[in-house]
Amino acid sequence: MTYEKIIGIGGGVGPMAGVILHQKIIENTLTNGTDQDHLEVHHFSRSSDISDRNLFLLEGIGDNPALGLIRTAEIAKHVADYTNKGIVFGIPCNNVHAPSIINPIKEAILQMEPKIKFVDMIGETVSRITTEYPEISRVGLLSTSSTRKIGTYRKTLEPLGYSLIEVEEDIQEQVHDSICNTSWGIKAQFPVTEKARENFERFAKMLKDQGAQAIILGCTEIPLALPQTEIYGIPLIDPMESLALGLIREANPNKVKVHSKQAVIQTVK
């Protein structure tokens, strides 16, 4: 039997994002049809210990959210020691992957290797674009205003030679609103409202018209409005799905569902 690792989810950022990641892990795990053939997943949803990401990133208010997430990794390390198993650890939040938050987390987890290994959501997403769509050089991004402002994807993609394409400044407000509006935004209503869905189709069309050859859905909520794998003939890339596939691969490479090309991709560090 292969030495299979536990998948650890550093959850609570936000609480539902962790649940969606967990679901995507189950859906993308290759099994023989029995419950017993699924991977072991430990989801530590610890929102109350993790400071507000937006306040910290945009206004410098509060503790670094890294602190609470490092405490989560320490709990995972403790479970790894107790069960004598390795843990591959991922965090389902775009804002947490801003350098000022993710770097201290990565450094702390590096000290816990080989018991804990970190799988980077942005790295997995970019790795997927590089290997699944080698012909692409112009990548679109739909995200909240804070992810855009921080430039998490831009800073990763541009050094690799990609152009990052975003909607015009005055449209960005509409994108943000279509996610966060408390009456009709994606966060507010499930199933997603017709208005939010139509808006995202329109934003995707704009990016395509600006030259995007693929679009990253850079906020965990956007795939609820754009659940399809492509639109107007260009692929939609869901970072949460990339993270799920990366975690499965690192836990047991034989368990990545074959429908995905991700199976053979190695993590971009």
Give the residues lining the site for its own copies (CB under 8 A).
4, 11-16, 19, 22-23, 26, 34-52, 75, 78-79, 82-83
**Which DSSP symbol is given to 90?**
E
Q: Which is nearer to its own copies, 69 or 126 (CB)?
A: 69
CB 132 within 8 A of CB 83: no
Q: Which is nearer to its own copies, 47 or 103 (CB)?
A: 47
Q: Which is nearer to its own copies, 47 or 266 (CB)?
A: 47
Shortest separation between residue 39's beta carbon and its own copies, angstroms = 8
Distance spanning both ends of the chain, measured CA to CA: 28
Query: What three-state secondary structure class fits 62?
Result: coil
Shortest separation between residue 220's beta carbon and its own copies, angstroms = 12
Shortest separation between residue 18's beta carbon and its own copies, angstroms = 8
Q: Which is nearer to its own copies, 182 or 233 (CB)?
A: 182
In the sheet that 230-231 helps form, which strands lie side by side, from edge to edge?
A: 163-165, 138-142, 214-217, 234-237, 230-231
Shortest separation between residue 15's beta carbon and its own copies, angstroms = 5
Task: Give me the helix-helix angle, 121-132 and 239-251, nearest 10°.
Answer: 90
Query: What three-state secondary structure class fits 78?
Result: helix
